[in-house]
Amino acid sequence: MPELEALLRDARPDWPEPSAAAGARARAALGFAPSPRSPRGWLTRTARARGTRLLIPAALLLTAGAAVAATLISTGSSGAPAGRPAALDFGPPDAVGGPVSLIDGLPAVAVDGRGVVTVAWGRAGRIVVSSRVPGGGWSAPERVSDPARRAAYPRVGTDRDGDVTVVWRERIAATRVTQRFTLPSGAPAGYLTELTGQRWAVVARTRPADGSWSPARRLSDETASVRDMEAPGLVVMPDGRTVVTWDVAGSMWSRGRAPGGDWSPAERVGGDRGEAVDPQLAGAPSGGAVLTWSNRIETGTGRRYAIRAAVQDADGTWGDAEVIDDAAVNPPHAAPALGRGGDAAVAWISESMDRTETSASVRPAGGDWSAAALVDATPRLFGLRGAPAIGGDGRAVVLSGPRGAAAVRGDDGVWRPLPLSPVAGRAFGLAAFADGAGGVVVVRGAAEPSRLVVERAGGAGDPVRRATSASSTAPVAAAGPDGTTALAWARSGPSTAAVVAVAEPPR
């Protein structure tokens, strides 16, 4: 028995205590009545019958056994060690390199199990990567894409051991046509030029920890439409399982890779007759992924966006793509989140002439998507993409703009405001994530003066404020299981650069 207790204690994640409601749900699931409020109550409510008394240790043993089994299954499937809370003591932002081709997408950032931070961005049509070991400086930006091919929209992911995967969209074929003109005198008037026969594909490269980059691997079929594959998705789980997604016409496609294995065949995740736009992919440390996108359906004044979401189980199987909402007339900028337990959430915005609403839908593991619920509304025309996250307790949190308000979904399904520290100025970017300990961290970019405000959604600790350059893009965030946290953004304006701020845990 002491061994069992030690095993349970060691295997217990360093999460905050579950909420009272979560405890009540667990007790109800086990068939227990609401817990007594005092030892006296316990004594008065304990069954006196011998048979009933014997049932109690049997139930305890059964529960302990189930917990051990669950822990072993979890360890076996994800290999995730106990995570640590995200460090928020950020050092000064580092301008890792530049320039940044903002038209080719924003910088992407990842943190591996050792605390190594890797950032990737597009530089003049090429994808470059730089990494930083704990306590060290940034490596010189390394080009990973073919210099002869224009590349854009990078994504980066790392596993627990430090293996890095980078994906991007690459122009794999094109023919340049040039026409020269002359002035009436015969002097050159210049030329017009264009590319024809262009083809694009999603490409990936990997680099083992302390190794060298693999050759580029084309993951998708080629497409002739420049509107396809504009936002490849990438999730690398701690054990190395990898999921990549991309859009072609109205459909979403995916390939996966097991640790040490090869890429699986391309699989259609879902889609519709309208163009698939704005795909967003998110994962969870325990495995699995959630993909959301919108199909632009109908035309003219009847144009709408049908938001779809599909969840991939921890074993790599995609579920059906479900329509979550199809009422938006403007791009809904849907964003997904996946919790450790498989709970998923999607948040999106709906803009009208004088009001922007943020709505959300949640899906318990293996369940159905809930009806759309209004999370926030502001009397402004333009909104920010909402940022959902699911904490270790399974609760969904949505950060929404332009005020950067937060809401949490209660057990009764009602979204309630979640107090955050006041932030002056207009929000220009939102991010939210669950750290290794299951706590939700929210990031708000605020203008005038330009800065990032980072804080725990639960209200623990004071917010951390870091100044950014006057013109910055929306931030992206990543946290490693050791607590290392990274925020990345692009400094815009005349001197663009990829900027990263890192917070390291005490070592």
Partner 1 sequence: MRTRAAVVAGVVVAVALAAGVALWATRGGDATGWSAPQAAGPGADADAAVAGDGTAVAAWAEEHRGATAVVTAERRPGGDWGAPRTILPAQRWTVRNVSVAAGAGGDVTVAFRLIGRRGGRGLVMGAHRPAGGGWEAPQALTRVGAGYGDLATAVAPDGGVAVATAAVGTRTHLDATVRDPGGLWTDPQEVARGLIVARPGVAVAPGGRAYVATVEGFGRSTHLALYVHAGGDWRAAPAPTGADDGVGAVALAVGGDGVPVVAWTRRGPGGATTLAASALRGGAWNPAQVLDRGPLATTFGDLAVAPAPGGAAVAWARWGREWTRVAVRAALVRDGRAAPPADVDVFDIPDIRAGAQVSTPGPPPTRISVSQAGSPVLLWDRLVGRAPAVAGRLQVSRASASGMWTPPEAVDAAPIDGWPLAVGAARDRVVATWAEYVSPATGGIRVIASERIG
The reply to whether 103 sits near partner 1 by the rule CB under 8 A is: no
Total residues contacting partner 1 (rule CB under 8 A)?
A: 17
The reply to whether 189 sits near partner 1 by the rule CB under 8 A is: yes
The reply to whether 184 sits near partner 1 by the rule CB under 8 A is: yes
Q: Are 448 and 400 in contact (CB under 8 A)?
A: no
Q: Are 505 and 482 in contact (CB under 8 A)?
A: yes
Which tokens go with 138?
Answer: 């940034």
Q: Of 194 and 320, which CB lies nearer to partner 1 in the complex structure?
A: 194
Window of 182-190, 329-337, 383-391, 480-488 that interacts with partner 1 by CB under 8 A: 182-190
Window of 191-199, 216-224, 232-240, 286-294 that interacts with partner 1 by CB under 8 A: 191-199
Kindly tell me which residue out of 66, 82, 177, 414 binds partner 1, with binding defined by CB under 8 A: 177
The total number of residues shown for the chain amounts to: 507
State the Cα–Cα distance between residues 246 and 408, nearest whole angstrom: 30
Kindly tell me which residue out of 38, 44, 175, 179 binds partner 1, with binding defined by CB under 8 A: 179
Q: Of 300 and 506, which CB lies nearer to partner 1 in the complex structure?
A: 300
Q: Of 75 and 182, which CB lies nearer to partner 1 in the complex structure?
A: 182
User: What are the CA-CA distances from residue 193 to residues 124, 178, 180, 182, 420 (Å)?
Assistant: 18, 4, 9, 15, 52
Kindly tell me which residue out of 187, 265, 379, 494 binds partner 1, with binding defined by CB under 8 A: 187
Q: How far is the CB of 401 from partner 1 (least distance, A)?
A: 22
Query: Rg of the chain over CA atoms, in angstroms?
Result: 25
Kindly tell me which residue out of 193, 214, 352, 495 binds partner 1, with binding defined by CB under 8 A: 193
Task: Give strand pairing partners of 308.
Answer: 293, 323
Helices 50-78 & 2-11 angle (0-180, nearest 10): 40
Q: Are 161 and 111 in contact (CB under 8 A)?
A: no
The reply to whether 182 sits near partner 1 by the rule CB under 8 A is: yes
282 closest CA partner among 305, 312, 260, 247: 312
Window of 145-153, 164-172, 175-183, 216-224 that interacts with partner 1 by CB under 8 A: 175-183
With 0-12 / 13-18 / 19 or more C-beta atoms within 10 angstroms meaning exposed / middle / buried, residue 426 is: middle
Q: Of 188 and 422, which CB lies nearer to partner 1 in the complex structure?
A: 188
Q: Of 12 and 355, which CB lies nearer to partner 1 in the complex structure?
A: 355
Window of 18-26, 109-117, 190-198, 326-334 that interacts with partner 1 by CB under 8 A: 190-198
Q: Find tokens 């070991």 and name the residue.
A: 133
Kindly tell me which residue out of 2, 43, 181, 506 binds partner 1, with binding defined by CB under 8 A: 181
Q: Are 465 and 451 in contact (CB under 8 A)?
A: yes
439 closest CA partner among 303, 340, 294, 327: 340
Q: How far is the CB of 453 from partner 1 (least distance, A)?
A: 33
Kindly tell me which residue out of 192, 315, 412, 506 binds partner 1, with binding defined by CB under 8 A: 192
Window of 46-54, 150-158, 174-182, 257-265 that interacts with partner 1 by CB under 8 A: 174-182
The reply to whether 470 sits near partner 1 by the rule CB under 8 A is: no
The reply to whether 352 sits near partner 1 by the rule CB under 8 A is: no
Task: Give strand pairing partners of 236.
Answer: 242
Q: Of 38 and 185, which CB lies nearer to partner 1 in the complex structure?
A: 185
Window of 178-186, 234-242, 372-380, 430-438 that interacts with partner 1 by CB under 8 A: 178-186
- Going through 334-439 in order, the beta strands assigned E by DSSP cover 335-338, 344-351, 356-363, 373-378, 387-390, 396-400, 405-409, 415-418, 427-434
Kindly tell me which residue out of 5, 14, 89, 194 binds partner 1, with binding defined by CB under 8 A: 194
Window of 139-147, 153-161, 181-189, 307-315 that interacts with partner 1 by CB under 8 A: 181-189
Q: How far is the CB of 182 from partner 1 (least distance, A)?
A: 6
Task: Give strand pairing partners of 129.
Answer: 120, 142
Site for partner 1 in 288-317 (CB under 8 A): 300
Q: Find tokens 């004594």 and name the residue.
A: 43
The reply to whether 320 sits near partner 1 by the rule CB under 8 A is: no
Window of 4-12, 186-194, 356-364, 388-396 that interacts with partner 1 by CB under 8 A: 186-194
HEC letters along 441-477: EEEEEECCCCEEEEEECCCCCCCEEEECCCCECCCEE
Site for partner 1 in 354-373 (CB under 8 A): 354
* Cis previous bond, 402, omega within 30: yes
Binding site for partner 1 (CB under 8 A): 177, 179, 181-185, 187, 189-194, 300, 353-354
